[in-house]
Amino acid sequence: MTAQMLVQLPLLAGVGYLVGLLLPVRVAASLAKWNHSGVTGFVLASLASAYWMLPRLLDASVTEPAIAAAKFLSLPLLVGLPLAQSLPRSGFVVRGYSRSS
């Protein structure tokens, strides 16, 4: 479980962050309508990452392939990608807080 928390989850979120930076302009513009000042993306990323911090789900992702697939899809798409789209739209204070924690 330690390897998942310290290596796998951050790497999956990092992959999603990179995908979010490489999105076509048209797709990013359509997402921007729903992400006012980055708040929606931060809330989505917080909820999705909190979901995968539950020990029961991390253990289940090792033994059950369906839950492992859900983890490998949801972390990049629901944590990394929203963060990549929300950080540039957020205000000065939010950007400073998110980088320091």
Per-residue model confidence as pLDDT tens digits over 54-84: 999 999 999 999 999 999 999 999 999 999 9
Residue 93 CB burial class (10 angstroms; 0-12, 13-18, ≥19): exposed
Alpha-carbon span 8 to 14, nearest angstrom: 10
Q: Which sequence spans correspond to the domains of the chain?
A: 9-100
Residue closest to 85 by CA, chosen among 52, 55, 51, 40? 40
Residue 99 has a pLDDT of 59
pTM of the entire predicted model: 0.83
> Average model confidence (pLDDT) for the chain?
87
The rounded percent of the chain whose pLDDT value lies above 90 is 55
